[in-house]
Every structure is written in C-alpha cells, then in structure tokens.
Structure 1
C-alpha cells in the first residue's frame, strides 16, 4: 500500500506542478486503533514553484483528491502550513509526530520538528481537543445505543487533554501510549482495552447499549477539564521571522 500511496503522490506532483515535501498517515492507523477495513488517511505538505508566489491574488492552498473506499488524500500548501504551525495547529503537530511516514524529502519536516516545542501552545491545543471531545460526545454518545468506534473519537482527545495537563508538551499521536500512561490499571482501563480489541477485529459499527464505566469517565472528565483548560497562561513565542526564513530556504532548496 505504501508504494501505491507514493505513486499517487507522484501523480499529484505531475498534475499540479508541485513538489511534495512530507506525507504521513493521519487517521486511525496512525492513532493505533485501525480496524480490518480502515481506509488510509494520507496528509501531505507541498510547495509550488517560485513564480506561483509572485502574485497579488490569493490562490487555492489545498489539494484534495476524490475520496474512495481505500484512500483519503489531501494536502496543504507550504505557506498555509507554516501559518497554521505558527498557531500551534494540533492536526499539523500530529502530522509531524506520525509514526507512519509515507514520504519525506528535503529538510522542511525535520526543521519544523526542531521548532515544534516552541510553536506548541498548551492552551490552544487543550481547547482544540476539549472541543473535539465535547462535540463528538454530544453527536455520537448521548443516545441509548452507540457504536463501538465512536468511543475512541471522544477518548483520544480526552487523553490528549490529560497529557497536556500533565506534561505541557505535544501529546503522542498513538492512543495505546496515552492509555498506558494516563489511565491506571482497573475496570476503566480493562473496558477500554476490550473495546480496542473489538474495534481492531472489525466490530466497530455494532450498535449496543452505552458502556456505563466508560460513559461515566467521559462525563466526569469533560466537566473537570473545562476549568483546567482555563488555567493555562496564553503565551506564545513569535516564530514569524524564523518561519519566513524557513519558507525562503525551502523554496531555494527545492527549486535550486
């Protein structure tokens, strides 16, 4: 599959006249809980040729391929990427932490990783994950019958919040790592592990009554984390000069 994904990336370069700098898995496969029929969520960073940037008009800064049953591929243009990086965009920080790298060329991704801790904002990431967990809880779990896979759309961001609260660093992307460190041994961890095994076996779409142990944990954590998120000080280093320099250096490196 990696070879097919790389072929798709080469086709994108040829079709759009761009260079892809970095491409990773960003979905359940990277999060550590794929099922047997999970698709591949490929996200990439790309750069246009220098002349593309010499225009007063705004241009489309994303590339999205039609989604099929197996592949979901989309990417962000370099300046969009760096602006979002400056804002401590959590999905982008996850891309840089993904253990499933399909393609990496030139020095951009490594240079961004070196700046990652300085770009990271605990408060903005905390609110991102908290809002994700709250929204997914309302949408998927506030009903009598729920699907197995939907628990993880709430549990993963909750544990990411816990990580930020405890460490004030970028949370690991892998759910099993978060689970092992942040949930103590006991009934809750056992129930989550049981659901994780079932999801991996393909039982993710089964509708069943709410799990009271997990449901109780989620409700209490959502309430507890709301004031915790407000306790972080909003402070962020301005990386604009360094990111401007990184943008220019990347252009020169790619299109020398």
Structure 2
C-alpha cells in the first residue's frame, strides 16, 4: 500500500515482462491534488536483457500500458534504464520527479543508488523545463477554464522556483504553497479540483490569476539567475558506470 491510495499495486509490478528497478506514483497523486476519479499514474524503469540491446531487433526501450483494476484506471509507463538515465541528463524534470517520488510501489538497491546520483544531473537549466511546461498549461487553462491545467501551471512554476533555490525536487503543491510566496487561494482551488477531475471554478478572478502567474514567472527567472546550481551536469561518468554495472549484473 502507498499513501493516499487504497489499492495494492504489487501485483502490477509482478506482471511486467522484465525486471523493474523501481515503480512510483506520479501525476496528480504526487502533486497533491488528486480527484476521486483521477487515474493512477505509475512510472518506473525496466531492465532489458543485454542481448536486446546488442542484436538486430529494435529494443523496447519504452513500454506503456493502461488498464482498470480495483475500480481505478492505471497507467504504467516504464523506460529501459539506459533511456531513463539519458532523459535524466537532458534536464528533464519529469523523470527526476518520478525517480524521487515518495509514493513508492516497488524499489530496490538500484533505485536507491540511482536516486543518490540524481543531484549530479540537476542544473540551473532545469528552470527551462518548468517554465516551458507552465506556458503550455496556462494556454490550456485559457482555452478550457478547467482547474487541472491551472493547478499544473502553479505547480510547475513553484517546483522550478524551489529547485533553483534549494536544489531539491519538490513536486507536491500543498507543500510548496506552505514554503513559498504562493497565492493564498491555491488550497481552495485544490479542494475544488478534488471534487471533480475536469471541473471548473465559477467566479475565478482571471486578471488576478494572470498577474500571479506572471509574478511567479518573474520569480523563477530571478531564482535561476541567482541559483548556485551548476551550468552543466556533473554526474555523467558515475551514471555511465552505474548503467553498465547494473546491465551486466542482470
């Protein structure tokens, strides 16, 4: 069992065709604003046999499966270890959030080692990831008026600011609201979204919200400029050695 989910996901892990190094919960449950009808987003890393990467067949580096179990829709996406680590080195905030998620379904020594290596890929340029995603979600909110993209907008901006200032990956919006100078109405939006996955919020003060989003963009820019994070990843060689060792160890 894991926090906030009354379902046992261990059988899901056991069904996978290749060993999973880890599986965690991502999405709205990780971000702190799930609805009663939210999907359960499972993310992780599988380990292909070395022969699959050496032969002529195209390796199945990414696997995706969606199905219903325990009355909930489960969405499982895993990458082979090599691909996942390459994504880590491309300033990809998603994979860091998945790797470091506290909502753990399956873990082991390789997961713990990889998590310990994560700081070696974090750079000041991760701000671009969060800035770009915020722009996309804000446009979606302007088009639909739904709470989900609005909360994503606030979540990624605050995660980016927190990362630039502390070097810590923190995707949980309620925690970020407590730690940073965030709009005071966000908890009310979270409560409204909990009632309905694709709901709207009547009476939103959109000019005020737009001003707050712009303020957070400026705060992210300032945090990036002042960040002590390195300009480039420092952990490439350690990650290379890790991938080789785990692959050859099977």
| Pairwise same-fold verdict (TM > 0.5) | yes
> What secondary structure, in the 3-state scheme, does the structure 2 residue paired with 1:177 have?
helix
Q: CA deviation at 1:30?
A: 1.0
Tell me if 1:236 matches 2:240: no
Q: Deviations over 1:139-186 (max 9, x none)?
A: 222x5x71222211100011112213322x1331211111100026xx
| Separation (CA, whole Å) in 1 of partners of 2:150 and 2:233 | 35
Distance 2:107 2:221 in 1: 38
CA displacement, residues 89-142 of structure 1 (integer Å, 9 cap, x when unaligned): 21111012211111113x22111121111211121x10000001011112222x
Identify unmatched segments of 5+ residues in structure 2.
1-5
- In structure 2, how many angstroms separate the alpha carbons of the residues matched to 1:10 and 1:165? 37
The match for 2:80 among 69, 77, 84 is: 77
Q: Which residue of 1 aligns with 2:15?
A: 11
CA contact (8 A) 2:130 2:156 kept: yes
**Shift in Å, 1:251:** 2.4
Distance 1:49-1:174 versus aligned 2 partners, 3 A rule: same
- Partner Cα distance (2:146, 2:219) in 1: 25
Structure-2 residue corresponding to 1:206: 200
Contact 1:39/1:72, CA 8 A, preserved across alignment:
yes
* Contact residue 146 and residue 209 of structure 1 kept, 8 A: no
Task: Using the TM superposition, give the Cα deviation of residue 56 of structure 1 relative to its aligned residue in structure 2, in angstroms.
Answer: 5.9
Separation (CA, whole Å) in 2 of partners of 1:203 and 1:35: 5
TM-score of the aligned structures, taking structure 2 as reference length? 0.84
Indicate the residue corresponding to 1:174 in structure 2. Answer: 172
1:190-229 Cα offsets, whole Å, 9 max, x none, are x111111112233751363433433320133335545764
Contact conserved, 2:141 with 2:147, CA < 8 A, in 1?
no
Corresponding residue number in structure 2 for 1:156: 155
Distance 1:2 1:122 in 2: 38
Q: Aligned residue pairs: how many?
A: 240
**Distance in structure 2 (CA, Å) of the matches to 1:240 and 1:56:** 27
Q: Specify the SS of the correspondent of 2:145.
A: strand
Aligned to 1:216: 211
Counterpart Cα distance in 1 of 2:122 and 2:47:
23
